[in-house]
Amino acid sequence: MPEIEYKFEDGISTIAINRPEKKNSINLEVMNGIQLSLENALKDRAKVIIFKGNGGFFSAGADINQFFTMDEKTAYEFSLKGNNLMNQIERYPGVTISAISGGALGGGLELALSTDIRISSKTAKIGLPEVTLGIFPGWGGIKRISRILGNGIGKYLLISGKYVTGEEAYNIGLVNFLDDNPESYAMAMAQNFKGYSSEAIEKIKLLLLQDVYSEDLEAAYFGKIVVSPTAREYLQKFRKR
């Protein structure tokens, strides 16, 4: 049974972690499967990617069993591999959505934080509990949760390892939308996003990732995109309304 299921249809890709008996915990095979799925999404020119977990649970995070066989070098490489993967998700030239049922914990939440939009059920358990295991988030979750929530709430969740519910996560801005069926909600949202320009979305995402915002880079991107065939097509459609 594959540990990652990839599907593509009509501009929308779905990447599902398929280890329900392990609460979709993430090992090297899962990471490699997500990497391959991202490559397939690029080849398919998917405008939207939905991430989910099979069996009613998004992901319990890294499979801790693999930590017991690591030395310092392999732990370093594991963290670097995870960071590179999350960066690829974050920079995907289209919209990425996490549909969170059951829970998104540790590395599972780090994956969700790498996506553009997070949709959760009210009762899902969400958090970064690594500190309670004597470690810390190693796939970029520290910078991303701080960017999303600020150092106040973000730091508290990091150093306490506290879980919040999906509803609490929504109230503090950690998730964007609540729904009893996050996957259906994500698919309905994806149907809207697939009609948008991936070129424009990619540039918005790249501009937002700058450490120091550059108006010159914004202007350079804007100049190129205004004269692009895609923009001309969208502008012509709008003018004909």
Are 44 and 10 a contacting pair, CB within 8 Å? no
The string of DSSP letters for 120-158 reads E-TT-EEE-GGGGGT----SSHHHHHHHHHHHHHHHHHH
Q: Which residues pair with 59 in a beta bridge?
A: 104
Catalytic residues: 110, 130
Are 24 and 55 a contacting pair, CB within 8 Å? yes
Residue 38 corresponds to which tokens in the numbers above?
């991202």
Of 168, 113, 117, 187, which is closest to residue 144 (Cα–Cα)?
A: 113
